[in-house]
Amino acid sequence: MAVDPPTAAQLAGLAEGYGLGLTADDVDEFSPFVGGLLTSWDAVEQLYARSSPRPRTDRAWSWPETDENPLSAWYVRTEIKESDDGPLAGRTVAIKDNTMVAGLPMMNGSRTVEGFVPTRDATIVSRLLAAGATIIGKAVCEDLCFSGGSHTSASGPVRNPWDTTRSAGGSSSGSAALVAAGEVDIATGGDQGGSVRIPSAYSGTVGHKPTHGLVPYTGGFPIEQTIDHLGPITRTVGDAALVLGVIAGRDGLDPRQPADVVAEDYVAALQQGGQGLRIGVVTEGFGIPDVSDPGVDDAVRAAVDVLRDAGLVAEDVSVPWHSDAMHIWNVIATEGATAQMVDGNGYGMNWQGLYDPELIAFYGKQWRERAAQFSETVKLVLLCGRHAIDTEYGRHYAMARNLAPELRAGYDAALATYDVLVMPTLPLTATEIPPADASRADYLARALEMIANTAPFDVTGHPATSVPTALVNGLPAGLMIIGKHFDDATCLRVAHTLEQAVGGFPVPAMQPSRVEESVGSRG
């Protein structure tokens, strides 16, 4: 039996939980009807078994050796190549471990997923392989991807190659660290609150969050369907454009995607340059009280000056909605993730896209057995989200979703005048990784303090690219370029113009061998 019929005691408990007012006789009368209805569950399981994917055993993988993983950024190592031809032929790729690669373990940074092995490739994985890429491993990510710091993964903190005492940023922590350190050409990331752009700013890489729905999320571990994004993390803007062209476009399995969405030739778009484009410098993105580092603000304004010198027009612009945007994201991400990512076992109900029943069953059982091992950030989400849902029945989530179009319109009003908007990706540079005995207050602060500029664009769905500025006290900082919906190409054009004007972005002097020596010297 797929679902064992409930006992009389179980039925009585269900009735009591819903306040149905059933007597023992009522429960006895319902029992055969419930049992009869549940036979459809058996039938569905048998029907699904006819077409469900079979486990892959042809992809070899291994746990990384300690001396080969000095940044603690690799989750597993492998070598998967399916084509010798294509735009990514010869390029090595790390897949963020929130994204399915059939036959390879997937932990999503959490003990609650540990041990799961997908039977499917995510759409972006299939597309990367078809384009000639070689996948050489999965990159560590933060616990259920709910952290902007790199200290919450169950496998341990991921270290920044610029300074191994500091955060690499999250939640795509391993992805950005591996690209920055030169251990891989390209990595994928996921972004619900900034998780492509945050580690890119902290680690000095290029990170592009596509327009919501441009890249199919199929095969990514869901957090909240209205804010889920997947995107590339690379060393150069050209590589980001190249990868975006490979992974973008409709797959027919993800209803986040408009029916008419298509990938463009983003590499060709870079050749248009940026001269004459108009930039709106969003004043609300600077000087955030108690958070912003004036050095970061100065570095971003200096990057804008470089763009001016390159022939772009830049002016300050006020977007008052930006100051309130975090409140909207907080409600959507907290209640939405509680209901979907945890209570809904990743997917929830009423989804018209592709489900992964195997992941749902594995994670749904395991999180209930290992909930105490959730990270502190996930525990915070559950405590707040469940309280709000239980006491207010989701009405604030509904309010926040109704406010999202107004928030989007606030940015669109500025984008009616300007081709792109810019601001600091993050208000500060990489902070030190909290020690194992850090207070809960410090742990949570290091995970969430940096997201004020990134998270709003997960709600509004605008494309946003983070590119490095000049270093600030020896550490990377990021300029974020926000574009109109499905005008990802213009974001990349502006980013490429800056890259060319400065002669390429900074890279860490500490190469992997020196990182190993540094980590070893600390014992």
Q: Which residues are catalytic?
A: 96, 171, 195
Per the listing, tokens 């993988």 go with 61
Query: Contact 234/92 with Cβ under 8 angstroms?
Result: no
Beta-strand runs (E) in 271-348: 278-282, 313-317
Query: Environment class of residue 187 by beta-carbon count within 10 Å: exposed (0-12), middle (13-18) or buried (19+)?
Result: buried
Amino acid identity, residue 39? T
Question: Contacts for 410-414 with beta carbons within 8 Å, 24 or more apart?
Answer: 410/319, 410/320, 410/321, 410/322, 411/319, 411/321, 411/322, 411/456, 411/457, 411/460, 411/462, 411/482, 412/484, 413/319, 414/280, 414/282, 414/317, 414/319
Strand partners, 502: none
Question: Cis omega before residue 62 (within 30°)?
Answer: no
Query: Contact 168/444 with Cβ under 8 angstroms?
Result: no
In sequence order, what are the residues at sequence separation of 6 or more whose Cβ sits closer than 8 angstroms to the Cβ of residue 384?
A: 334
The pair of structure tokens assigned to 464 is 């946003």
Strand partners, 255: none
Query: Exposed e or buried b for every residue in 102-134, given b needs 16+ CB within 10 A?
Result: bbbbbbbbbbbbbebbbbbbbbbbbbbbebbbb
Distance CA 209, CA 195 (A): 9
Distance of CA 49 to the CA centre of its chain: 31
Distance CA 142, CA 155 (A): 9
H or E stretch covering 517: helix 512-521
* Rg (alpha carbons) of the chain, rounded to whole number: 23
Per the listing, tokens 């990802």 go with 488
Amino acid identity, residue 217? Y
Whose CA is closest to 98, among 75, 69, 81? Answer: 75
In sequence order, what are the residues at sequence separation of 6 or more whose Cβ sits closer than 8 angstroms to the Cβ of residue 290?
A: none
